[in-house]
Amino acid sequence: MNTLLITGASSGIGKATALRFHAEGWNVIATMRDPASSDLASLENVLVTRLDVTDSASISAAVQAGIDRFGAIDLLLNNAGYGAYGPLEAFSTDRIRRQFDTNVIGLLEMTKAVLPYMRARRSGTVVNISSIGGQITFPLGTLYHGTKFAVEGLSEALHYELEPLGIRVRIVEPGMIKTDFGGRSFDFAMDESLTDYAPAAEAMGRLFGKLSSEPSSPEVVAEVIWQAANDPGDQLRFRAGQDATDLLDRRKEQDDASFISSIKALMTD
């Protein structure tokens, strides 16, 4: 029986993926910062355990708990993350570091912790959750897009590094999804004294309103993750949601000026 380890499994994409793989007969190591809040532990062959990707000790403990329970980790889903938006000037250095520590450094530490077990077996898959925001950008998203562009680059490099060892790397790029991304998983910074950025904030609100009018469900992303994990070919990137396909196709087809102009057009009333 195969085993999946998920970070950020308390809700949204992480929880939907845990349920999707469990339904297929997989063992699931569902990790989150507050295990007491999860109802996944009631399911057979599911281990719910604490993991904070910014806490190295919790990473090591969770991986070891999974190995002790199931004997192996066949698939790592790096899902934990959040979005920080706002003018760069409005963010303290601590908040900047928190965004990169969670979305990038935490992902790297998780991967590093699991790789020795996969390398020993010459088998395994790492699926990293990126975003359409790893290929395109929106206003006031300097920090979030910086992290997701990093996830795209490090994942592609790891693909070369790990393929000869029998370990596959996959990138999943969701579009707008019905999750808590805009709630507790959203860090918006705006200093009222920085009035010069007020028009950009208003434009961002209009843009997000238009783009999120028909978001996909977390289950849509979970299905794409299932496909990415089980695809026998060498495809690296998998899109999740029709909006992701449409926007990323347009980004590839247009030059920078044309695409940026099309995004600006969506910011207007």
Residues classed as catalytic: 130, 144, 148
Cα dist. 169→8, 121, 134, 194 in Å? 19, 16, 16, 42
Specify the amino acid at residue 196. D
Pick from 44, 17, 51: which is nearest to 227 by CA? 17
Using CA atoms, how far apart are residues 4 and 120, in angstroms rounded to an integer? 17
Report yes or no: 152 and 130 within 8 Å, Cβ to Cβ. Answer: yes
Q: Radius of gyration over alpha carbons of the chain, in Å?
A: 19
SS3 213: coil
* Maximum separation of any 2 CA atoms in the chain, in Å: 57
153: left (phi over 0), alpha (psi -120 to 50) or beta: alpha
